[in-house]
Structures are given as structure tokens and as C-alpha cells.
Chains A and B, each alone.
Chain A
Amino acid sequence: MMIDGTEDEEKFLAAGIAGLQQNSFYMHRALDSNNLRDALKYSAQMLSELRTSKLSPHKYYELYMRAFDQLRKLEMFFEEETRRGCSIIDLYELVQHAGNILPRLYLLCTVGSVYIKSKEAPAKDVLKDLVEMCRGIQNPVRGLFLRSYLSQVSKDKLPDIGSEYEGDADTVSDAVEFVLQNFTEMNKLWVRMQHQGPSREKEKREKERNELRDLVGKNLHVLSQIEGVDLEMYKDVVLPRVLEQVVNCKDELAQFYLMDCIIQVFPDEYHLQTLDVLLGAYPQLQSSVDIKTVLSQLMERLSNYAASSAEVLPEFLQVEAFSKLSNAIGKVIEAQPDMPTAGVVTLYSSLLTFTLHVHPDRLDYADQVLGACVKNLSGKGKIEDKKATKQIVALLSAPLEKYNDIMTALKLSNYPHVMEFLDVPTNKVMATVIIQSIMKNGTRISTSDKVESLFELIKGLIKDSDGTPDDELDEDDFKEEQNSVARLIQMFYNDDPEEMLKIIETVRKHILTGGPKRLPFTVPPLMFSSLKLVRQLQGQSQSQEENPFGDDASTSPKKIFQLLNQTIETLSGVLAPELALQLCLQCAEAANDCELEPVAYEFFTQAYILYEEEISDSRAQVTAIHLIIGTLQRMHVFGVENRDTLTHKATGYSAKLLKKPDQCRAVYACSHLFWVDDHDNMKDGERVLLCLKRALRIANAAQQMANAARGSTGSVMLFIEILNKYLYFFEKGNPQVTVAAIQGLIELIMNEMQSDTATPDPSADAFLATTMRYIQFQKQKGGTVGEKYEPIKV
């Protein structure tokens, strides 16, 4: 239109308001002096301002509201006028003398309102006349506002049931008829808007139309407020008529909005009872209409309705709501081949939610929904569209949320098929969701079948998908995922050992396909749950006191250990030797508890081999050696020979560590291998002392090396540590550890600390002081211990 449209619009609006105010001023003057003719004249002039075509609906509304206020006053005047004896019929004619149609009709509606109130004519006749006369306004914006004015002034005067305007001649059907007609006309005007004006302004027009939609929708609201619109009338008259209009208008915006309106304004119960009709309309809508949203909203409403009270559920069954909705969705999808995948999935997702609310007991329904979804998605391959995948996740999450139980979801045979449509990352997300659901609810998965199907669901996490490189995957995300898988494995549990073994075998089968990156995460939980089973068996066999580990028993610790052995081997093959070593030691200990010497020995052998062949990092070696020593110390199952071999090896490894302090510490730790408290046959004081002396030598060497390399002696820490070992064995009663030896060591430490070259080390000082205090304390304790310590001089 103009270069600067909005600014001009403001000007037009201002001019319109000014004109309106001026005329309303004269109108008021006429009203005050009871001058009917002038009142009519000026009100018509005032209303003429509404004839403008220059305002956008938004601004027009502003003008309309001002006129509306004035008309209220005029209406009051008309009422008074009739009370003063002016015939309402004459008045009704008089206002129709106005030459311009728009003011004429506004006045007519205003007088009409008074006319109905006067009850001099049946309300229905007046209403019918008004709604007919309003046809004269064919301009969409002006027509919509006029009719909305009509709707506004008439809504409290409809011959509704129980209303004072109801009578022999006026029934609620007249009221309904009136509103429906006004609705139909308004919708026509509204739809027509889009065709008027140049096509380049289409977008602007759509926006303007959107602003006006509530004027149209208001009629539906009025209908829903009519007391007399009961289910029967709704079913027979209201809905068919409204739908007819919606379908026939063939307008995307209107269809979407009005369908939504219908769903929102009328009671759920009505929807339920008219599902056939309502759903029948959907496939007839324009293909560009966003049906999925509307239909989803319907299902959401119905779901909420079902959830609101258990009493309504039978209604749902009675009308076969599920199958109707399901059919309708099928038809809609068929009718709209262009519907994006996201839309299709949204529909199914809503239907599923509905089913879960209404028929929580009918898993087969839920499965049907998923099946239908699969059918519709088939042939589309992996879905790339972000929105669609999001919807699929929502679809799949719904049953989990509803049942809080993965077991139920596992019963849905189509569940994994739906998951297959997800792309790799989303599939993983979904798998994580499933796992989280299990974790949150603490669901125990207790049969191997279920485990099997569960793994089927989360296989995105279990193994690499074919041909998809995993490189882009974030390291942290990966860890997170695998940790959740690890947690999941812990949730598999069955009291029955046989079943549990089956579960373990299943899990093993699956996780072994996971590739080198996953195994370090997944194997440990498997190991531990296996070991748990071992201990359980052990407990049982002890209580039952029968031949516990007969080879013929299907579930024996031996068998499990074999399994574990193989598993660990796979792990060592994938460059996780440290982990493998740790697991070996765990197994060895478990075997120890089961008194299975060969098995334990085998595991130790493996651990040693791993240490020798695979662990080359010095730090890792230190950790490993301490683990080996610690475990070995606790082993009681070995015979002398085996034990000797193993301890000898361990001591040997210790002495071969790279760094002197590490060597020293490992060696003095080895001393414990020869002194096991509860086993007298494993107390070899001489070798303990040998170890300690060797440690001292190494400490000395370390000191000298430090002196040579840096020019100052290092810390005396190692000596103090060794002193503590001496004291330990001294106290344990090792005859080889003598007071003299301890005394010598203390002196050595003192000398070292006072030497000029010593670097002050506060932690060493503190450690020594504590050690000394301990000796003092033991001395003062008296008794045998005190006596023992007595000779030591501090």
C-alpha cells in the first residue's frame, strides 16, 4: 500500500478515534436530551468510522472496542426509550432507515438485543433476522467484527434451556441454529480473507487472519456454553454442522484452528461418544494441515480424561476408543502421504500415551501401536530428521514411564523394531534412557531371556554398529554410556544359580562382541556378578554339606571359573593388562575361598604372566606388585611348593622394580608373605628378616644414589618405614627381629637426620616422632608388651 504502512495506520486510527469521539459526544448530548432522531443520526455517523478499510485487524479492533462501549450506552438508552412508551418494533424499523449498511446493522443488533429483552417477539425470530441481515457485510474484517458484536450482544439472550427467553416457540435448537449460522458465516468470511489483496502480502494476511481467529472460535465457545446442548444434540446437530463447515472451507489455517477449538471447548465425554464422527473428519482435511498436533491434542485430552477418574474408563471400552483412534491415524497417514516422519511418529506417540492411560492392562494394544508405527516407518531406513528421532524417543519412553518397569517394555515385541529406526547416537540415547529407567526403579532382571531381549534393545551401546565409525564420539560420553552398561549388568540377578549362570553366559556372549574399547568397562561387572554367584554357591554347599563341587553339577564354581578365565583372556588380549591382572587376582582369591588350589594357582600364573609380558610401565608395575603381594598374602589354599614358587617369584619381581624406593617398599612388603598370622606353617622369621635386611640395603643404596646424583642425601623416610616393619614383626614375636637390630636402626636414622647433608623433611620428622611416641607408649603399657619394649632405648 504505502511506503510506511504502520505510521500511516497510526494516523488513520487516530483520525478514526477522533471522528468516533466527536460523534459520540453529539450522540451523548442527544441521549441526554432524549432526542431519538439525533441519537440515531450521530450514532450512525459514529459507527461510520468502522467502515474504514485502512486499518489492520489489530488497529481495527481498537476502534471497534471504543464503538462497542458507546453502543452499550446506546442500548441502555433504547431500553429507557421503550420504557417511556416508544414501541420497540418502531425502533427496530427506525434504525433500518440508515443508508449505510454497517452502521445500520450495528444499530439493528443493538436494538435487536433490546427487542429480545422486551419479549415482544420470539427471541428466535429476532435472532434469525439479525443473523440473516448481517449477510450484507461481505468484507471479511468488518463482517467478522460485526458478527462478533452480534454474538456478544446475543449470547445472554439465547433461548437456552432454563433461560428466560425459552418458550413454546423458542427452543434450544433455535439458539443452536443461530450460533451455528453465525459461526458458519464468520468462518466463511475468515477463510475468504486469504484470497483478497495481492499475493505478495500473503504472509501478512495470514498473520492478520491469525489475529482474528478467536472471533470465529468464540462461537464454538458460545455453543459449548449453551446448557441445552446435551450429548444428543451435540452428536446430531452441533458436531456434524461444525465439521461440515470445517471440512468444506478447505482452508489450512481454519481447519487447524477449528479442530483444535472443537477439542478444547467441548467436554471430553462428548468427544468420546462422537469419536467416529470427529475422527472421520480428519482424513478429509487439507493435506497441509498439521493434523498430528490436533489429533495429538485430542488424544492427550482423552488420556487426561481417562486419568481423571476410573469411572469413565468403561466408556472408553464401550466406544472402542482405541481401535477407532488407531484406525483414524492410519487413515490420516494414508490421506497425507507428505506428512513428515516426525508427524507420523508424534501421532503414534500420542496414541501410545492414550493407550497406556486408558488400557494399562492391554499391552497388546501398546504393541499394536508400535507395530503400526514400524509398518509406517519401514522402508525409510534410519531416520535422520532430528524432530522425528526426538519423537521416537518420546514414543519409546512412554511405556517406560508408565510402567516404571522395563519388563513390560520387553514384552512389547515391536519395541526393538522401532528402535532400529533411530540413528546411532539417538539409539544410544534411548538405550541410556532404558538403563536409567531400570536404575531408577531398581528393577531386577531375573531371566536370561529377558536379558537377551534387553541386550537386543540396547545393542547400540553394546557393540559398534556396522560400518559406522565411532571416532567422532566424545570420550566422556562414551565412558558415561559404558558405565551405565556396567551398572546395568549389576541389575541382573536371580537367586537360582542355574538361571544366574545362564544370565551370566548371555551377558558374556553379548559383551564379548563389544570390541576392545568396551570390554574394560563391561567385563568387571560381569566378573563380579559371577564371583558373587561363586560365593553364593559356596555358601550353599557349605550349608548343605554334600559333595559340593561335583563336576557333574551343571553349576559349579569350577565351571564358572573356567568361564571367567576365558573372559579374562579376552581382556588381556585387548590391551587392558592391568585390569586383567586385577581380575585374575580377584578370581584367585575367590578360588582360594572355594579351596580350589589348582584354579587359584592357574589364575596366579596368569597374573604373573600378565605382569611379565604385558605390564611394562614402572608405575603400573608397582601397583601390580603390591596387589599381587596383598592377594598372595591372604591365600591359604596353596601347598608349600606352590606357595614357595609364587612367593619366590613375587619377591623376585619386587627386587627388579626400576626405582630404588619402589624396590625397597615392595621388598619390605614381601616380608609379609612369610608371616601369616593365623597359619603357623607360614611363619618363617628368618626369611622375614632377610626381606627386611634386603630392604635396608636397598634403602641405603637409594640414599647413596641420591647423594651421588644430587649432592644431598634424600629423605630418611624409607628407613622409618622399615623401622615400622621391624617393630611390627617384633611385636608379632618374630624371634629373628631383635632389640639390637631395632636399636641399630633407630641410631642409624638419628645419624642420618643429623648429618649435614640431610635435607630437612617435615613429614619424615613427624613420622619418626610418631614412631618414637609409639615405642614410648608401648613401654609404659607394661605387661608383656612393656617388658618386650623395655630394652629399646630411645
Chain B
Amino acid sequence: MNYLLGAFKPACNVLISFNDGKNRKQVPFKKENGQTVTVPLFHSQENIAGKITIEPMQGKKIDHNGIKVELLGQIEMYFDRGNFYDFTSLVRELDVPGEIYERKTYPFEFSTVEMPYETYNGVNVRLRYVLKVTINRGYAGSIIEYQDFVVRNYSPLPQINNSIKMEVGIEDCLHIEFEYNKSKYHLKDVIIGKIYFLLVRIKIKNMDLEIRRRESTGSGTNTHVETETLAKFELMDGAPVRGESIPIRLFLSPYELTPTHHNINNKFSVKYFLNLVLVDEEDRRYFKQQEITMYRLQETS
């Protein structure tokens, strides 16, 4: 952000506060410099209202060509650094050009703001919402202040949520059948399932269930795909024999998951996979990957 100008010679303090700041839920937010701060949480269609206070430094006055506040939804691609793409941009003019001698407060409100996408912080891409206050000063450069906030959107319970059931194998070597109770999980869900061994001719050492996130950015030839393993959960220790069935119970809450994102503004997609990995005694890996859909469920509490 353009702190430099303000930090160099802060002519005034700009303070952005929300009307319901005290009651609003705060969530941790990782800033791009690595620091984690807590910021307020909003949902789509909410009113975003508050006050902006401008307080000039002692004995200074600010000449300005107008003050405005913007609500921006931005997508930033890391390979295209510095280039923001605004998919949402709302503006409120706060003041006509003039001078500020003393502390001055401007209320603002964006009502029922459409914020279809969730805040997302990925490997190659970032989607963020921010309030941007600009004090226009023609000659000395504008004073700009940002306030991040997080948007999360709840999904309803899916109408159809089939289990994932599959039989896979390598002929005369390994044959298993596995089942996950659902194909769509909310972020605090539990994956229940089992693996049934139909044929085991290899010496298995252990079996893990991995949660993998695949983030693809850009489009066409310019597509970047990044896959991360977010969870590695050991399901089985030792070599099973034919007929064994191994239970799966994986709580998703400890992991930092996000909902599945499909082609957000033609910029990026985030998909989740369950990867069942069997490792044999020679450390060969046998795996089968299945996509699952993640969604955010309205927390009841």
C-alpha cells in the first residue's frame, strides 16, 4: 500500500471505523507483509457503514480537492504483481474540495453490497476486499488510507450430496474399494468412510489420506496450476490382508480450508481433492485422487 507518502510526512491521521465494529465478528487476516491482524467479517448483501475521521496534525491544515471512500473487490495475480483487477468498485464522495483545519468525521454507507466472492489468499492469487479513503491533493499527492475486511459467504446445504464410492486396483496386485460418505463437505465437516481391501499382493507399509488443494490461475496458455497438500492423515499402519476394512474419520476443522471456487471472475479456480495414498515397503506410492466440493455452512452457534 502506499503508506510511504503518509509515513514520510504524515499530514493527518485517517481513521476508518465501522458502525457495528464492536459486535461484528473479527477474523484473523494475513497481510501481505506476513503480519496477521484481525479484521471485521462481512457477508454479501450486507450494509457496510461507518465513519471516517480525519485529524490533521497539530497546527496544520489540509487543502484538498475532495475526499472519497471506495469499496473495492480486487483480484491480484502474483505473477502479474501490482496489477489489481477490480471486480467491484463503489464510490462515495465525502467532501467537496476545501480545507480541513481540525478533526472532521464523515459518515458513509454502502448498502446491500453485492460481494459474490469470498476473500481468498492463495499461492498465486489473492482476492481481497478493501475500503479505500482518498484525500485528493493536487500538488502534494493524495493521502490514501486502506481498511481490509474479509468476506465470507455461506452456502446452503447441498440438495444432492452423494457418497463417493469406488473400486480401484492394479491387476493381480492390489484391489481396494473405498467410500467417502459425501462428495460435498463443509469446512468443519468430518469425512467418514472406509477402505475395503479386496486383494492385497503387495506389502503395504501404511496408508494416508491427503487433502490437496489445486489452485489454477489465468486462462488459456497462461494457466498456472499450483497444488498443495494441506493435510496428511494416517489411516492405517501395517499391512492389511484381504477382507480387512479400515475406517476413515477425518475431522476437517483443524485444517485451513476454503470453499471450492469455480472460475472466479475468469481469473482463478480452487479445487479440493481427497488423495488416498498407499505406500509399500519399497516406498512405492499407489494413490487415487477424488475431487470433493468444499462449502461454507452457516455456523449455527
Contact = CB atoms under 8 A, between A and B. Distances in A.
A143 B237 CA distance: 9
A101 B234 contact: yes
Contacts of B204: 138
B232 A138 contact: no
Given A100-B234, A101-B235, A192 B241 contact: yes
Interface stretch (B96-104, B242-250, B267-275): B242-250
Interface in B182-233: 204, 206, 231-233
Contacts of A51: 237
A496 to B, nearest CB: 78
A253 to B, nearest CB: 17
Contacts of A96: 249, 251
B130 interface: no
A192 to B, nearest CB: 6
A93 interface: yes
A739 interface: no
Contacts of B232: 99
A365 B211 CA distance: 71
B144 interface: no
A168 to B, nearest CB: 27
B238 interface: yes
A416 to B, nearest CB: 54
Nearest to A138: B238
B236 A138 contact: yes
Q: Which residue, A97, A137, A143, has most C-beta atoms of chain B within 10 A? A: A97
A441 interface: no
Contacts of B237: 51, 101-102, 136-139, 142-143
Interface string A63-105: 0000000000000000000000000000001001101111010
Given A132-B247, A135-B245, A99 B239 contact: no
B156 interface: no
Contact of A135 (B206, B233, B247, B253): B247
A104 B208 CA distance: 14
B131 to A, nearest CB: 35
Contacts of A93: 251
A210 interface: no
A142 B240 CA distance: 13
A136 B235 contact: yes
A102 B237 CA distance: 8
A139 B246 CA distance: 13
B247 A138 contact: no
Q: Please tell me the size bucket of the interface on A.
A: 20 to 34
A93 B251 CA distance: 8
A136 B208 CA distance: 11
Contact of A133 (B239, B247, B253): B247
A562 interface: no
Contact of A139 (B238, B241, B249): B238
A196 B240 CA distance: 11
A102 B251 CA distance: 16
A140 B245 CA distance: 15
A106 B243 CA distance: 24
Interface in A156-206: 188, 192, 196
A469 B231 CA distance: 85
A97 B251 contact: yes
A373 B237 CA distance: 51
A133 B233 CA distance: 14
B254 interface: yes
B25 to A, nearest CB: 21
Contacts of B246: 135-136, 138
B235 A99 contact: no
Contacts of A192: 241
B234 A196 contact: no
B236 A136 contact: yes
A136 B195 CA distance: 10
B103 to A, nearest CB: 45
Given A96-B249, A97-B251, A139 B239 contact: yes
Q: Which residue, A97, A136, A140, A196, has most C-beta atoms of chain B within 10 A? A: A136
A137 B238 contact: yes
A196 B251 contact: no
A51 B245 CA distance: 21
Interface string B18-60: 0000000000000000000000000000000000000000000
Interface in A135-159: 135-140, 142-143
A370 B235 CA distance: 59
Contacts of A143: 237-238
Contacts of B233: 99
B234 A133 contact: no
Nearest to B243: A188
Contacts of B239: 138-139, 196
B199 to A, nearest CB: 15
Given A101-B234, A101-B235, A133-B249, A138 B240 contact: yes
A132 B245 CA distance: 10
Contacts of A139: 237-239
A97 B234 CA distance: 10
Nearest to B233: A99
Q: Which residue, B232, B234, B237, has most C-beta atoms of chain A within 10 A? A: B237
Contacts of B206: 101
Contacts of A100: 234
Q: Which residue, A101, A133, A139, A140, has most C-beta atoms of chain B within 10 A? A: A101
A101 B249 contact: no
Nearest to B245: A135
A196 B200 CA distance: 13
Contacts of A97: 251, 253-254
B251 A136 contact: no
A138 B244 contact: yes
Given A93-B251, A138-B239, A138-B240, A99 B234 contact: yes
A138 B204 CA distance: 10
A748 B155 CA distance: 151
Contacts of A99: 231-234
Interface string A123-139: 00000000011011111
A136 B246 CA distance: 6
A376 to B, nearest CB: 39
B278 to A, nearest CB: 12
Contacts of B245: 135
Contacts of B247: 132-133, 135-136
Contacts of A138: 204, 236-241, 244, 246
A139 to B, nearest CB: 3
B244 A135 contact: yes
A135 B194 CA distance: 11
Interface string A544-562: 0000000000000000000
Nearest to B241: A192
A509 to B, nearest CB: 71
Contacts of B231: 99
A188 B254 CA distance: 34
A252 to B, nearest CB: 18
Contacts of B249: 96, 133
Contacts of A142: 237-238
A192 B244 CA distance: 12
Contacts of A133: 247, 249
Contacts of B241: 138, 188, 192
Given A101-B237, A138-B246, A139-B238, 17 more contacts: A96-B249, A96-B251, A100-B234, A101-B235, A101-B236, A102-B237, A133-B249, A135-B247, A137-B237, A137-B238, A138-B238, A138-B240, A138-B241, A139-B237, A140-B238, A143-B238, A188-B241
Interface of A: 51, 93, 96-97, 99-102, 104, 132-133, 135-140, 142-143, 188, 192, 196
11 contacts: A96-B249, A97-B253, A97-B254, A99-B233, A101-B206, A104-B234, A135-B245, A136-B247, A137-B238, A138-B240, A139-B238
Interface of B: 204, 206, 231-241, 244-247, 249, 251, 253-254
**A-B pairs with lowest CB-CB distance, top 8:** A139-B238, A138-B238, A101-B234, A138-B240, A97-B254, A136-B236, A137-B237, A100-B234
